[in-house]
Copies of this chain bind each other. A is one copy, B any other.
Amino acid sequence: MATPPAQDPRRTLTLRDVSEASGVSEMTVSRVLRNRGDVSEATRERVLQAARTLGYVPNKIAGALASQRVNLVGVVIPSLSNMVFPEVMTGISEVLEDTGLQPVVGVTNYAPDREEAVIYEMLSWRPTGLIVAGLEHSPAARAMLAQAGVPIVEIMDIDGTPVDSAVGISHRRAGRQMAEAIIAAGYRRIAFLGTQMPNDHRAKKRLEGFEEALAKAGLTLADREFYSGGSALLKGREMTEAVLARSPDVDFLYYSNDMIGAGGLLYCLEKGLDVPGKIGLAGFNGVELLDGLPRRLATMDACRLEIGRRAAEIIAGQPHQGVVGGEVIELFPTLQPGDTIRR
C-alpha cells in the first residue's frame, strides 16, 4: 500500500502515476486525456508519451462517477441470430460513431423476465439513453424505464403506447398490406407459417393484420403451421412440406420471416412446383440472404437500418438531461414482390 507505484508492475495505474511520470498535475493529465481545456502542445505531448509508455488506460468508472456522464447507450434486443438485429445495430453504430456515444447490447431471447433483468442491468450503469425493441414489457420493466430519467426509445414497432419515444413500423399494417397484395394477385387459399413464439409480438401483430385484411375480402386462412427452435431454413422446409401434405390445394404460403420463407422456397423449387404460378410465397424482413437464392422471395423490408439510425439520433440529439420525449416516428416498409408472387 505504501510502496511507490513503480515498485509493483501489477498495480493498476491511476492518473497520479501518469502525472508523476510526466511531471504535471493530475488535473493536467486529465485535461489532455479528455481533450478539454487549454494545454500547450509540448505538455500534451509529454503527457501522452508518458501515458503510452506506462500503458495507462483511464478508469471510466471513476470518470463517470465524477462527471455524472456515461457515454453508453443501452440497446436491448431479443436476439442476435436472426439477421434482423445486427442491421439495426449497424444503423445505431453509424449515427453514434461521431457523437462519442457507444452502444452496449443486451439480449433477451424473447423472454420477458430476461428483458426485465437486462433493462435493470443496463440502467444500473446510468447510460445516456436506452433503446429497447418492442413496446411490450413487464409492468416492472415499464416502471423502470419510466423512472430512468434518460431518453428511452422503443424500436421496431409502433402499434401500442410507448414509454417515451418510439421508432418503427406498423406490423399490423404490414400484415394487411401483404394480404392485400396477395389477394390482388388472385391467390385465395392462403396458409400462414410462423415460428411459435408467444412473445414475438411483432410477428403476432403482422398475422393479426394479415387475417384482418383476409376477412375484409371474405377469406380466412386455409391453414397454419407453427414451429420453434432449430435451423430456420430447415424448419421452413419441414413446415412447408407439412402444410402441402395436409392442404394440397393452398395456393399461397405466407411466412412470418424470410429465413423460413427461404427454406420453403427451396423446398418448392426442389419439388418442381410452379412458383409463382400455382403457388405463391412471401416472407418478411428483406434480409440480404435472399439475394443469393435461385429466385427472389417476395418480402417486405422492415426498415431496420433506418430504425436504428433514427433511434440513435433521438438519443444523441437529446439536449442534456432535458426530459422531452414523446416522439413517435413511423416508418413505412415497401413491399418487394420479388419473383414469388404473380403480377
Residue A59 lies at the interface, judged by CB distance under 8 Å to chain B: yes
Quick one: CB contact mask for A274-292 with B, threshold 8 Å, 1 for yes?
0000000000000011011
Contact status A149-B291, CB under 8 Å = no
Residue A64 lies at the interface, judged by CB distance under 8 Å to chain B: yes
CB contact between A231 and one of B125, B147, B288 (< 8 Å): that residue: B288
* Stretch of A174-182, A202-210, A232-240 that contacts chain B: A232-240
Residue A12 lies at the interface, judged by CB distance under 8 Å to chain B: yes
Contact status B58-A289, CB under 8 Å = no
Q: Quick one: which of A247-274 are within 8 Å of B by CB?
A: 262-263, 266, 270
Residue A123 lies at the interface, judged by CB distance under 8 Å to chain B: yes
Contact status A292-B270, CB under 8 Å = no
Residue A217 lies at the interface, judged by CB distance under 8 Å to chain B: no
Q: How far is the CB of A61 from chain B (nearest CB, A)?
A: 5
CB contact between A291 and one of B59, B64, B65, B231 (< 8 Å): that residue: B231
A323 contacts which chain B residues (CB < 8 A)?
10
CB contact between A55 and one of B144, B231, B291 (< 8 Å): that residue: B144
Quick one: CB contact mask for A41-73 with B, threshold 8 Å, 1 for yes?
000000000001011011111101100001000
Contact status B292-A55, CB under 8 Å = no
Q: Quick one: which of A80-110 are within 8 Å of B by CB?
A: 80-81, 83, 86-87, 89, 93, 102, 104-105, 107
Q: Which residue of B lies closest to A11 (CB)?
A: B149
Residue A146 lies at the interface, judged by CB distance under 8 Å to chain B: yes
Contact status B60-A233, CB under 8 Å = no
CB-CB under 8 A for A140 and B52, given A70-B61, A292-B266: yes
CB-CB under 8 A for A149 and B10, given A61-B61, A140-B52: yes
* A6 CA / B138 CA spacing, docked (Å): 25
Contact status B232-A292, CB under 8 Å = yes
A234 contacts which chain B residues (CB < 8 A)?
291-292
Quick one: CB contact mask for A140-182 with B, threshold 8 Å, 1 for yes?
1001101111000000000000000000000000000000000
Sampled A-B contacts (6; CB under 8 Å): A57-B120, A60-B125, A60-B126, A61-B64, A93-B107, A230-B291
Given contacts A102-B121, A263-B292, A266-B294, 10 further A-B contacts (CB under 8 A): A55-B144, A55-B147, A57-B148, A60-B126, A61-B61, A61-B125, A80-B80, A93-B107, A231-B291, A235-B292
Binding site for B on A (CB under 8 A): 10-13, 52, 54-55, 57-62, 64-65, 70, 80-81, 83, 86-87, 89, 93, 102, 104-105, 107, 120-121, 123-126, 140, 143-144, 146-149, 230-237, 262-263, 266, 270, 288-289, 291-294, 323
